[in-house]
Amino acid sequence: MCGIIGYIGDKPAQPILLNCLRRLEYRGYDSCGIAVAAGSIGVYKDAVRVAELAKVAPRLNGTAGIGHTRWATHGEPSQVNAHPHLDCSGKIAVVHNGVINNFQRLKRELTAEGHSFVSETDTEVISHLIEKYYDGNLEKAVEAALSDIDGSYAIIVLVAGESKLVAARKDSPLIIGVSDRENFIASDVPAILDYTNRVIYLEEGDIGVVTKDNVKIRRYGAEVVGEEHKILWSVEDAQKGGYEHFMLKEIHEQPKVIRDTLGEYISAAETEVKLAMMTEANLEGMLIVACGTSYHAALVGKYIVEELVGIPVRSELACEFTYRHQIPAGTAAIVVTQSGETADTLKAMKRLKEGGCQVVAITNVVGSTASRIADQTVYTRAGPEISVAATKSFTAQLMVLYWLALSYSRVDIRQVDNLTMGLRQLPEKVQQVLDNEDKIRQYASYLSRYENVFFISRGINYPVALEGALKLKEISYIHAEGYAAGELKHGPFALLGANTPVIAIVAQDNTYETMLTNIKEVKARGSPLMALAEEGDEAIGELADSVITVPRVDAIFSPVVNTVALQLLAYYTAQQRGCPIDFPRNLAKSVTVE
Amino acid sequence: MKQAVILAAGEGQRLRPFTATRPKVMLSIADKPILQYVVEALAQNGIRNLVIVIGYRREEVFDYMGSGERFGVDITYITQEKQLGTAHALAQAKGVTEDEFLVLPGDNLIEADAIAQFVAVKPEAVLVKRVDNPARYGVVTIAKGMVKGIVEKPKEAGSNVVSTGTYAFSKQIFDFIEPELDIPDVLNNMIAQGKHLRARETDGTWLDVVYPWDILSLNGAVLRQIQANLGGIMETGVSVKGLVSVGKDTVIRSNSYIVGPVVIGDNCDIGPNVCILPATSVGDNVVISPFTEIKNSVIGSDVNIGPGCIIQDSVIDKGCVIKGHFTACSGQADVKVDDEHHMVNLGAMLGEGCSLGNSVTAQPGVIVGNHSQVQALKLISGRLPDRSLVV
């Protein structure tokens, strides 16, 4: 999904385009660019986010321009592939959202006719096609170019010397924003709501010619009057699809993310091994390196792989990996990073490569730096994650780790069958956790009154305790510590008491009895105790002050349902405390400095 | 008319267990929620500014519809905190409506042709339709194209013309709304005060779900109009006849036999040797094991069906796990809903997340509550509440 924008009016176009692009960033943000016309066309674009582009872009003069923000699903985000794309003369600039199916053939024909291409994108054929047909009538040229194209598109065309923008759509969204002495064209309404709330929706096949004072629309060759709609809603609503925050929207997307990852890697693929560099024979150990929430996924991965594959696994913090003296040569190394740009993780990758390791990257961003350094990349299909607090990307990372472990598993066929079926049930189990939201919200309003909280667990859910604490502290600003339940008595006991609630994550596995003992110890120190436990666990109900239940799943999948419950808990606690949930203080979505 | 208000806040209690975690508008018919049919019908008629009034389990609507972009519309959500009636629901949208707008029930399946003429009508107006069973609906008396009155669920219907719940209103409607009323009451008051209400008749597709088994008849009706489309992977020896749609990444294994109309979602694993017979919908991420026969049924997403099952005229909601040799044969059954008895031909109705052991047999018309568990070799019948344990 990409976002496009066009502006024509009396004001300098550049700041307006950049502001609109920021509004479109939820549609994707791996690269962006703008083109502004004033006699000639100035273009500035790069594989960076809009805020960074805004900082470094030179001042482009002109009161008409176009812009684009991109989320690649195929092909690499790079400066040359970023939009806008120019023709040979540099006088025609195009931004495009969609896919052109016949671009290979068109590109060959245009190349044969003498056009020279600089990018690998399908979009570039549009600018060259328009160049081919342009004889002073831009509208006709665009129409002719589009008749050659098979595919989906929303495009905006800017031509040097023309005081108009031409827009067209087919199977991709496009609207025109109408104002006084200026007009806009955009992928969606929120992009332009800072400037106008008068909107014309373009229909399939429409071609719009927009000047600063006028909007003309051609439909099936005839001119039609575009109906103006007045938009009464605010910017935030639409992008968040009804939710108050991106974080809650993204938490709710998790059943779909799990289904998408299953579809990509598990169901049709027959759990066939796809990592060329890791073979059954050479797989003697594994190293997983990551930061933050991804590190917690790596820690869960350790338990998953050790149980299913039966090899020793080390999960390491990327920032500390620098100081390790030994790099285990020959070990399969995996790095986990949502953005693919985390500085510490990239540094660790380089060190691993220098040490002779083959590196697999698990990342959410196609073409990110991590994917370029890695020998092989496995993409999580979580889609753009806007909220600073990672939620759906964590779940998607776990799904990839389950798939990896199952691909190499050395356990009984019966267990593999059970686990495969268990994986397929996970979307529904996570949905059940979401359906239990009201219960979690009630407990959150209680928790929000405290300033210190401990999260404890054992075994595969120990990393879940860490992740639960991280989510709570980063968005609600409550001081939270995740602890191995057995470590609590080595110090933190001194902090327990009526003002320090403890949240115990209790799974039905070999940790269960010991966890009950630990809970009793905590209770004896007077801390209010909340247990996150499997439904039907009656013993817990008698011990804990409150219980949030999660649906029954195989213990190896319990981190998924437990984490989703703790994400909701952190979200509603922060909401109760009135925190700016999507953009917590002092934090950035991807940490690109060491 | 450029704007429409869709009422989507209600639960649909008579449809339990299928509405325990979703509002009625999100019931899936031929692999799409009812609300999507309404939204698509409006978009096809050029109405893209939509206000959706949500309430009960509103997250289900958010998660599926989002901003509306996927369906080519812009959605504004308005929450009705308490479901106090349809007029109250409409009143919530007062602040965001234009001078003239359509109102549609989000839980009635309507197709583009049914409202093609109506979108140009002058308010106030109601879209009516002739039906076979008018006593279930609001029966409309009309004289010279104007509505004289609407009687909800009359004991004896004087006519077979009923309200589809689809209206064209101007802002003056808000002057007549009192809380805790339904829209027909408001309209009767309005008529009594001398205002005019036009009636426009349609013969397009308009279908309502009232009882759980209506899901099957709607499913059958809608499936006849699907687009055939074979995505996914077909192994050798798979027979496909009639209108069949298969989603992406789905695998249909050897010697499976599929007779349309049938729709199968994404990421399913079906067969080998599975038989899927007409008027069946299968959701996403569903596993159907060898030697199972499914006929005229609706299977939700994330369902796992074991080998050797017979499933006829049944609704299996999302997330059910059914082991081998489950039998849900169709037969005539006396089903009780809200103290009313209904004689219907039915297999089994399974709520979401149920788990059935090997060789369970369902008596025709059984309704099993959500998250129930049935042990192997049991015979189930009647109505089981949510979270039942059959041992």
- Out of A233, A252, A425, name the one closest to residue B302 (CB): A425
pLDDT at residue A345, as a whole number: 93
Q: What percent of chain A lies above the pLDDT cut of 90?
A: 59
State the pTM of this model.
0.82
Whole-Å CA distances, B84 to A95, A405, B60: 48, 52, 20
Minimum CA–CA partner of B52 in chain A: A242
> Mean pLDDT score of chain B, rounded to an integer?
92
- Gap between the Cα atoms of A484 and A464, Å rounded: 10
* Beta-ladder partners of A92: A159
Interface contact flag, A268 B285, Cβ < 8 Å? no
Q: Give the separation between CA A30 and CA A97, rounded to whole angstroms.
A: 14
Q: How far apart are CA A542 and CA A537, in angstroms?
A: 10
Q: Where are the alpha helices (DSSP H) in B175-325?
A: 183-192, 214-223
Largest CA distance in chain B: 69
> In the A/B pair of chains, how many CB contacts fall below 8 A?
107
Interchain contact, A263 vs B96, CB within 8 Å: no
Across the interface, whether the CB atoms of B67 and A241 are under 8 A apart is answered: yes
Strand ranges of the sheet holding A31-38, from the earlier edge strand across to the other edge: A40-46, A31-38, A64-70, A3-8, A183-186, A175-178, A198-201, A228-230
Q: Quick one: CA torsion of A380, A383, A387, A392, rounded to 10 degrees?
A: -50
Q: Is B154 exposed, middle or buried (0-12, 13-18, 19+ CB in 10 A)?
A: middle
pLDDT in tens, B80-129: 988 888 899 999 999 889 899 999 999 999 989 999 989 889 989 999 99
Which amino acid makes up residue B103?
A: V
Q: Are the Cβ atoms of A230 and B267 closer than 8 angstroms?
A: no
Longest dimension (CA), chain A: 86
Residues in chain A within 8 Å Cβ distance of B319: 425, 428-429, 431-432
- Min distance A507 CA to chain B CA atoms (Å): 20
- Please indicate whether residue A589 is annotated as part of the active site: yes
CB contact under 8 A, A424 and B66: no
Q: Cα distance from B15 to chain A (closest Cα, Å)?
A: 18
Place of tokens 């209680």: A446
- Would the CB atoms of B251 and A268 count as touching at under 8 Å? yes
Q: How many residues does chain B have?
A: 391
- Nearest residue on chain A to B76, alpha-carbon basis: A233
Substitution target from A232, A246, A251, A403 for chain B, most B beta carbons within 10 A: A232
Residues of chain B in contact with residue A259, where contact means CB-CB under 8 angstroms, are: 266-267, 284-285, 301-302
Closest Cα in chain B, distance from residue A577 (Å): 22
For residue A526, give Cα distances in angstroms to A63, A314, A494: 67, 36, 12
The label of the residue with tokens 């600063």 reads A212
Q: What is the pLDDT of residues B246-255, one digit of tens each?
A: 998 899 999 9
Question: How many Cβ atoms from other residues are within 10 Å of residue B229's Cβ?
Answer: 12
Q: pLDDT digits over A204-246, tens only? A: 789 999 999 999 999 887 888 888 877 766 655 557 888 989 9
**Residues on chain A touching B318 (C-beta within 8 angstroms):** 428, 431
Task: List, in sequence order, every residue forming a beta bridge with B126; answer none if it has no partner.
Answer: B167, B199
Distance CA A421, CA A432 (A): 17
**Picking from A94-108, A187-201, A445-459, B118-132, which range would have the lowest pLDDT averaged per residue?**
A187-201
Is B352 within 8 Å of A231 when comparing Cβ atoms? no
Distance of CA B201 to the CA centre of its chain: 23
Name the region of B287 (left: φ>0; alpha: ψ -120 to 50; beta: rest). Answer: beta
pLDDT digits (tens, 9 = 90+) for B164-214: 999 999 999 998 888 778 899 999 989 999 899 999 999 888 998 888 999
Q: Which residue among B58, B233, B285 sits closest to A424, beta carbon to beta carbon?
A: B285
A407-426 residues touching B, CB cutoff 8 A:
421, 424-425
Please give the span between the terminal C-alpha atoms of chain B, in angstroms, as a whole number: 58
Q: Is A319 a catalytic residue?
A: no
